[in-house]
Structures are given as structure tokens and as C-alpha cells.
Amino acid sequence: MSLPNRLAAECIGTSWLVFGGCGSAILAGAFPASVTIPAFGIGFAGISLAFGLTVLTMAYAIGHISGCHLNPAVTVGLAVGRRFAWKDVIPYIVAQVVGAIIGAGVLFLIASGKEGYVAGNFACNGYGEHSLGKYALSSGLIAEIFLTFMFVMIILGATDSRAPAGFAPVAIGLGLTLIHLIGIPVTQVSVNPARSTGPALFADAWALHQLWAFWVAPIVGGIIAGIVYPIVAAEKRT
């Protein structure tokens, strides 16, 4: 598949991830517009499932086109693990960020059509006073690094040529669901720099000030997974 085709798939897939996952938090419950996660409506479990379903559906839809990374940390982790060409890393990341901005932009246009709507947190990731559980930066970094590490480990394992064929999207989607069930109270869960960037552009200014953490931590987690998995799986290095 040509690079332009793959980049288009990554852009579309990431826009669906952001629109579907963040949209479940913004649109799927009757709650104050300034609150990111509804206290009722579909709740944490529903939002977690929505993120998992976006990845699962896109994995089947575009996995055969682009690999369905939808996430700079995944792209970097796969490159470190020698599953992806380094020359395509930057183009993939650009396409993912553009897709995330598109998805967040469409969501903002819909959400802002409600009378009295205020963007507020707009499903952004945060730490300190902007964490749902008021977790400190250190807790947020640890959570994002470890959760991304496990997510990329799941991806590398599920897509291993020795793994059962055809089930990778299910494992990856359920893995992301579990990650959100764990991490929403800590950082609202990023594990994806593109997912964090799109909504931050439409939210209050604090989201951009804290955005660096949600680039650094997930990419560190992805790099660690890219190093660890081939060792654990005894993959032959070429």
C-alpha cells in the first residue's frame, strides 16, 4: 500500500478515535458543560468501552491498509521493536495529529451547538488540579508511562506472527478499554499524544500548558515496550 493511502487511513482512523472516545464523554450524558466526565449517563465504564470500540472497529477497517496505529506512541514503539520503518514515523505522526484535530474539531462543532455550552476541559488530559482524582504530576507520568507500555506490549504480542490470527483487534480494543477503566481518575487517560493534542486545541489554556506530559510519558512507555517485547518474545533481530 502506498504511503499516501496509509497516511489517509491513519488520519481517518485517529479522527474516529478522538471523536468516538472523547465524544462519549462530552455528548453521552446530561452533565454540566464544564465537566469532562459525566457523573451519570454512560459513566467511566461506558467511556472506557467507547475508546476500546473505536480502536477495535478501526483495526478491522484500516488495519490492512496502515496497520492502524492511530497513536504516535504506538508508531514509535513499533519502530523501536523493528516492526515499522523509521522513515515513515514522522509522516504517520503528522497524519495522526491532523486526524485528532479533525475529530476534536467536529466534536466541538457539535457540542458547541448546545445552548450555554462552555468548552472547559473538553475531554482533555490533565494532572494536579486538572486530574479528576487530583493526582500529582508524578502519579500522572508513572500511570501514562506504564499504561502505554502495557498497551504497546499488547499490540506487539497480539500482532506477533505466532499469535492466533484474526483476534488482534479484539485484544487491542479490550486492552484499551481496561487501560481507561484504570486510568480515567488519574489523567483522564492519554496513552496517545495525538488524542491529547486534538482536544487541547479547543479547551481552556491550561490543557496546552500540560500537553507536554502527554507527549513525553506515552512515547517513553512505547519505547520501553519496543525494547522489552522482542527480548521477552525471543524475537530474532535482523
Q: Is the pLDDT of residue 94 over 50?
A: yes
Determine contact, residues 222/76, Cβ cutoff 8 Å: yes
Residues 6+ apart with CB under 8 A from 231: none
Q: Which three cell numbers stand for residue 47?
A: 467511556
Helices (H) and strands (E) in the chain, counts: 9, 0
pLDDT score at 237: 61
* Domains of the chain, first to last: 3-232 (1.20.1080.10)
Q: Is the pLDDT of residue 2 over 60?
A: yes
pTM greater than 0.85: yes
Determine contact, residues 216/133, Cβ cutoff 8 Å: no
pLDDT digits (tens, 9 = 90+) for 184-222: 999 999 999 999 999 999 999 999 999 999 999 999 999
Q: What is the mean pLDDT of the chain?
A: 92
- The helix (run of H) or strand (run of E) holding residue 141 is helix 137-158
> For 88, which DSSP code?
G
Q: Is 139 exposed, middle or buried (0-12, 13-18, 19+ CB in 10 A)?
A: middle
Q: Is the pLDDT of residue 236 over 80?
A: no
Four-CA torsion 75, 79, 83, 85, nearest 10 degrees: 100
Rounded CA separation 122/195 (Å): 12
Rounded CA separation 148/192 (Å): 8
In terms of Cα–Cα distance, which of 188, 154, 189 is closest to 169? Answer: 154
Q: Which amino acid is at 94?
A: V
**Beta carbons within 10 angstroms of residue 203's beta carbon:** 20
Min mean pLDDT across 80-84, 119-123, 130-134 is at 119-123
Q: What share of the chain is helix, strand, coil (3-state, %, to 5)?
A: 70, 0, 30
pLDDT digits (tens, 9 = 90+) for 40-78: 578 889 999 999 999 999 999 999 999 999 999 999 999
Residues 6+ apart with CB under 8 A from 223: 76, 77, 80
